[in-house]
Amino acid sequence: MATQIFLNLPVNDLNRSIEFFTKLGYTFNPKFTDEKATCMIISDTIYVMLLTRTFFQTFTEKRIIDAHNEVECSICISLESKEAVDEMVAKAEAAGGKIPNPATDYGFMYQHSVADLDGHHWEFMWMDPNGMPEQQ
């Protein structure tokens, strides 16, 4: 069995988050969806569990940060082209996401970021593996 990744994120309004990510083209596994959580499918091996803040808090004694003001991680997802990166960021902005920085083009790599409705930092990137600079 391939290693799977389940990223867990606290959200303020689960239904609103589902609506936001649906507009970006993501789907959800109904077997792992209820009023407290949903399982967003990124790929065959990568999933994002969107959990209400109250439910998320049951997994930790630490304080949950406000991702609008603090950052704990940046979630980076590769896409098939520069155009796909721009399309995803445009969808996110149209759905209510915020664009914190302009796109960055390194020639062999292109990336653009968005903050979702809860302030979580998402990077969408495309990379040309044949164009990477040589290691020195």
d(CA 28, CA 42): 9
The tens digit of pLDDT for each residue in 93-103 reads: 999 999 999 99
**pLDDT band of 129, cuts 50, 70, 90:** confident
Class of domain 68-136: alpha beta
CATH 3.40.50.11270 fits 1-64, yes or no: no
pLDDT value, residue 131: 74
pLDDT value, residue 134: 67
d(CA 108, CA 42): 24
pLDDT value, residue 135: 62
Q: Say what the pTM is.
A: 0.89
Q: In the chain, where are the structural domains located?
A: 1-64, 68-136
Residue 122 near residue 89, CB atoms below 8 Å: no
Q: If you write DSSP's letter for every residue of 116-136 in order, what string do you get?
A: -TT--EEEEEEE-GGGPPPP-
Is the fold of 1-64 the same as that of 68-136?
A: yes
Taking residues 55-81, report their average pLDDT.
95
Q: Which residue(s) pair with 48 in the sheet? A: 7, 40
Residue 28: strand, helix, or coil: strand
Taking residues 72-76, report their average pLDDT.
93
